[in-house]
Amino acid sequence: MIPSALKPVKNSLTGNQVRLGGPVPGKFDDPVQWVKAVKSLRYSAAICPVQPGAPSELIRSFSSVAKKNNILISEVGVWNNMLDPDETARKTAINKNVASLQLADEIGACCCVNISGAKGEIWDGPYPGNYSKETFNQIVETVRHIIDQVKPRNTFYTLEPMPYMLPDSPDSYLELVRAIDRDRFAVHLDPVNMISSPQRYFNNSAFLRECFTKLGPYIKSVHAKDIIIMPELTVHLEERRPGTGSLDYTVFLQEMSRLKDVPMMMEHLEKQEDYLLAAEYIRKTGLTTGVSFIE
């Protein structure tokens, strides 16, 4: 059964404004200066500005200032290997997830996010063991453990989909939602990470719709990237800046506008100039699509 808090429900009516965000350059100890930096980029969402272990007073201050200025803290990213073959490294990774979920709950982030992990030395690497039944069960038990340790009330724990580990499709994500069976387990959507075949690539408009149709009620944060297929053997897919690939951003934004207060976060770009260009493209596409943005 799907947890009661995550049972599919109709999303808000179409026409919601989209919250765009991305990395904000610099390190901030002053929440007011952080807000100024976020607003200067015309963002209404931003990645968590503090790390686990930050003083509670500072966390509360960032949370309060963000709310007062209509900024969503999109996510607390963990980015480690909860399936590490080394037991000591695995326990350390899991403990960091617990601490990060605690931070997300205290600061009121939309979610805490990690990948499920890899059954090998490379934390996000492609290994046959990533798809075993034993690995599926290990993911389920690990996520349950993290959520049960924290018992979050103000945030959700999520897994970012990846091309060669679970979840790697809308259906495999739903399977994990059902198996984990925790109200505070939800979805972090990264459509580009799941475009791992020419079929999905060339039919990405339909794939985007499938993602939002199946996962929409559970989505807490979304990554905005682009993708291109290269004329190289064998299949060669590369991540690109939004607007320089083939992802159907018209459909992407239409689907995003059906959700309410779900941040759309740009990532993985080399320079701040690239983020400005990506944001410009996304906003212009929104203008022609009839989708507006909260600023």
222/208 Cα distance (integer angstroms): 12
pLDDT digits (tens, 9 = 90+) for 268-279: 999 999 999 999
How far apart are alpha carbons 283 and 69 in whole angstroms?
A: 21
Structure tokens at 118: 């890899």
Across the range 227-256, mean pLDDT stands at 98
d(CA 239, CA 227): 5
Residue 15: what pLDDT?
67
pLDDT for 122 beyond 90: yes
Whole-number pLDDT of residue 7: 44
| Predicted TM-score of the model (pTM) | 0.94
pLDDT for 26:
92
Per-residue confidence (pLDDT) for residue 6, from 0 to 100: 46
User: Which is higher by pLDDT, 193 or 3?
Assistant: 193
pLDDT above 60 for 9: no
Q: 11 pLDDT exceeds 50?
A: no
pLDDT tens figures, 45-93: 999 999 999 999 999 999 999 999 999 999 999 999 999 999 999 999 9
Is pLDDT above 60 for 229? yes
CATH numbers and ranges of domains, the chain = 13-294 (3.20.20.150)
In tens, the pLDDT along 150-192 reads: 999 999 999 999 999 999 999 999 999 999 999 999 999 999 9
- Which one-letter amino acid corresponds to residue 85? P
**Is residue 42 over pLDDT 70?**
yes
Q: What's the confidence (pLDDT) of residue 14?
A: 47
Q: Is the pLDDT of residue 8 over 50?
A: no
Residue 261 to residue 264: CA distance in whole angstroms: 9
244 CB-near residues (< 8 Å, 6+ apart): 226, 228
Q: Kindly state the average pLDDT of the residues 87-104.
A: 99
Model confidence at 1: pLDDT above 50? no
Whole-number mean pLDDT of the chain?
Answer: 95
Q: How would you class 3 by CB atoms within 10 Å of its CB: exposed for 0-12, middle for 13-18, buried for 19 or more?
A: middle
pLDDT exceeds 60 at position 2: no
